[in-house]
Amino acid sequence: MTVHAIIGGTGLTQLEGLRIHQSLSLETPFGAPSADILRGDYAGREVLFLARHGHPHRIPPHRVNYRANLWALRQAGATAILAVNAVGGIHAAMGTGHFCVPHQIVDYTFGRAHTYFEDDLDTVTHVDFSHPYDETLRRRLIAALAAEGCAFSGHGVYGCTQGPRLETAAEVVRLERDGCDIVGMTGMPEAVLARELELPYACLALVVNPAAGKSTALITMDDIERAIGAGMGKARAVLGRVLTA
């Protein structure tokens, strides 16, 4: 049986509706994960939940221990990962409140521990990352978004930047020129670490602001928090549909 793990990002440090049976405080060879892993029932299905930035939200994107997070989820029994990410919209279709299920990613991060395959190896290991997201999970997210009547795009390129600052307008021009449709700070190395652990992984991205230069207004945390508040309820409903499909 598939055991889904949900990784909650900004605005989803708690999974409302999760009936918690167990809180797991785990240690891994890579240190401690961002928070305890919660095991419980959601939408009538067993799930694991992890707050990517901790609970309360306190760990910035470049300080998240992604290796410990993914390792601990697999250790707890996860066999598939559904990641929720708050992002900025670059493509004109990616307005505030729009959902995207990306099919590709471009990594602009630096200095993050991004692989399990680096020390005490018997042989050098390379993983195929041509298609970073699991297509079966992607299709289930797309079907759930359609069933919920959400505005969404079933494909898109996620540009992952270092953070924690937001991007400059010139950087967003470069991202757009590179083919990115959305921009966030947490998509990598999370996706590739899941691949190294052979865990199917897909992303549900909620656009919470126009990327820099895509609006004449300043980007404020108040506006972002309002968009998160309006969108995360829909995200929870979508996740529920995926689990029961």
Does 236 carry a binding-site annotation? no
Rounded distance between C-alpha atoms, residue 190 and residue 37, angstroms: 16
In 3D space, the residue among 175, 185, 179 whose CA is nearest the CA of residue 213 turns out to be 175
Rounded distance between C-alpha atoms, residue 99 and residue 213, angstroms: 20
Rounded distance between C-alpha atoms, residue 108 and residue 126, angstroms: 20
Angle separating helix axes 221-244 and 135-148, nearest 10 degrees: 110
Tokens, residue 97 = 């409140």
Does 185 carry a binding-site annotation? yes
Does 78 carry a binding-site annotation? no
Tokens, residue 28 = 């891994």
Rounded distance between C-alpha atoms, residue 92 and residue 63, angstroms: 31
Beta bridge partners of 80: 4
Does 63 carry a binding-site annotation? no
Alpha-carbon distances of 60 from 9, 75, 86, 233, rounded to whole Å:
11, 24, 13, 23
In 3D space, the residue among 31, 26, 17 whose CA is nearest the CA of residue 63 turns out to be 31
In 3D space, the residue among 220, 188, 222 whose CA is nearest the CA of residue 203 turns out to be 188
Which residues fall in the annotated binding site for substrate? 185, 209-211
**Binding positions for phosphate:** 10, 52-53, 186
- Which residue ranges are tagged as binding site? 10, 52-53, 185-186, 209-211
